[in-house]
Amino acid sequence: MPLSLFRYTLLVCSAAVLSARPNIVWIIPDDMSAHFGTYGETAIETPHLDAMAERGVKFTRAFVTAPVCSTNRSAFITGMYQTSIGAHHHRSGRGEIKTHLPADVKMVPQLFRDAGYYTTIAGWPINPKNLGKTDYNFEWDRSIYDGSDWSGRAEGQPFFAQIQTQGGKIRGSDLEKYRKTAQRADEELGSHTSVDDVTLPPYYPNDNAVLRQDWAAYLDSVRLTDHMIGEVLARLEDEGELDNTIVIFMTDHGISHARGKQFLYEEGIHVPLVIQGPGIHAGTIREDLVEHIDIAALSLAAADIAIPANMQARDILAVDYAQRDAAYSARDRCDETVDYLRSVRTERFKYIRNYLHERPHMMPNRYKDHKAIIVALREAHAAGTLTPAQELLFAPTRAPEELYDLVKDPHELHNLAGDPKSASLLKVMRWKLTEWEVATGDHGLESEARYDSDMLAYRKSVKSKAPEQLEGFERNVAQMKAWTAEGK
């Protein structure tokens, strides 16, 4: 065979193999818990995700390893625990002191690109001129993404696409934005969620009008997100790609609320995870524990791309997959607010270690403190109208350790860590968490120099975008430094 014909044959064969690989699409909204019909939500209808679950596999115990966006995204885009790669402080590495990935860690889009995939990241609707949300806490090369729209790929080229959407952020943070969310739901879906259909968890005051309006707007954001899922799937079907596309739906953490986003209670770390596509058995329900970083490994495996040996994510769809006996999560500095929490969650129990337990749960935080729900909660606390369960939000300190029986106490209100009857269990859970911290090389607290570096960057951002909040920001930074100096 002539050399030129041999090379041509190789190219044709390579193209055939490449085009046979499935497309991979991630749909990842912000700030949203598992409030979908397929997960038991009854106040609203979510037909598109429900249908995805019927066509594929639904995981009922999927957990994020970080309950805030940048640390979460740094984890799933590498398939690594954010605590292992030094990317665990929210919006870190934005100042003069940068964070670099370990030499043996590659980002998932780069692995796909190296394997011949066309890689994209976008919001929805897709704007060809703009990439979607990344928010990684380390330096990275933007060339890992070929663009925002997979329509730019070569003929027959498979694609790896991320659709990053607002999710729970659609509802906004004040009464006027709640009203606009209801109006948008009316226009796009034909109705909005009534506050009369809202039932709040017992750790929030159910008779508070602001919280009820917020939750109704949040449920409408879930409905709007579900509608968006339908639009993505419809485009894939119209293009003839749906049957050869693995679609993964997951959120980046739970609802943004006082015990949700940024915290390690179920409201913050339990997320929906639904997957459909070729090779996925329809109507499968998985109740074993999985972690959000696992979408990295299973996506690579589905595309027949080798999973790096050091990747901590697991291919949870593999025939020989050994189920986890626990899921681990971590919360660290969020914006200017310094915290240090770690948790381990088994099928029945949750253990949380509060390293900075002499600080309150509701520490000052510029991002959260202007939100209408936080203002309303603080007002209710000052008025003395909260129940003992709701007052836990405002305790001046926290228990060093928290232990919950999630079967008997799904809302995590009764800490068993001090109960002598739970001493043996506490010892086991304590050991499991410590073992994970050591085995994964948990980086822990950041240095004062790194904190100061990032706060300089934050200060410039606040001064530029919200100068009226600069004084409060400075006060919060001073409070963090004072607590540290006091050994708290």
List the structure tokens of 105: 């860690």
Beta-ladder partners of 344: 328, 351
Average per-residue pLDDT in the chain? 96
Q: pLDDT per residue over 175-212, tens digit each?
A: 999 999 999 999 999 999 999 999 999 999 999 999 99
What was the pLDDT predicted at 20?
84
Q: Which single residue is written with the structure tokens 């939100």? A: 371
pLDDT at 217 over 60: yes
The gap between the terminal CA atoms of the chain, to the nearest Å, is: 76
Q: pLDDT per residue over 314-341, tens digit each?
A: 999 999 999 999 999 999 999 999 999 9
Query: How many residues are recorded in the chain?
Result: 488
Q: DSSP H helical segments within 170-258, as ranges? A: 175-189, 209-238
What was the pLDDT predicted at 18?
55
Beta-ladder partners of 284: 57
Q: What is the mean pLDDT of residues 306-320?
A: 98
Residue 19 pLDDT level (bands cut at 50, 70, 90): low
Q: How many other C-beta atoms lie within 10 A of the C-beta of residue 229?
A: 24
pLDDT at 14 over 60: no
Work out the angle between the directed axes of helices 372-383 and 209-238 (0-180°, nearest 10): 160
> Mind listing the domains of the chain with CATH numbers?
20-324 (3.40.720.10)
What was the pLDDT predicted at 7?
42
Q: How many other C-beta atoms lie within 10 A of the C-beta of residue 3?
A: 7
pLDDT at 4 over 60: no
Residue 11 pLDDT level (bands cut at 50, 70, 90): very low
Determine contact, residues 123/165, Cβ cutoff 8 Å.
yes
pTM (predicted TM-score)? 0.96
Determine contact, residues 231/238, Cβ cutoff 8 Å.
no
pLDDT > 90: percent of the chain:
96
What was the pLDDT predicted at 304?
98
**∠ at Cα 266 (263, 270), nearest 5°?**
100
- What gap in Å lies between CA 291 and CA 131, rounded to an integer? 26
Q: What is the mean pLDDT of residues 59-63?
A: 98
Q: pLDDT per residue over 385-444, tens digit each?
A: 999 999 999 999 999 999 999 999 999 999 999 999 999 999 999 999 999 999 999 999
List the structure tokens of 38: 């397929």
Q: pLDDT per residue over 251-302, tens digit each?
A: 999 999 999 999 999 999 999 999 999 999 999 999 999 999 999 999 999 9
Strand pairing category for 270-276 and 245-250: antiparallel
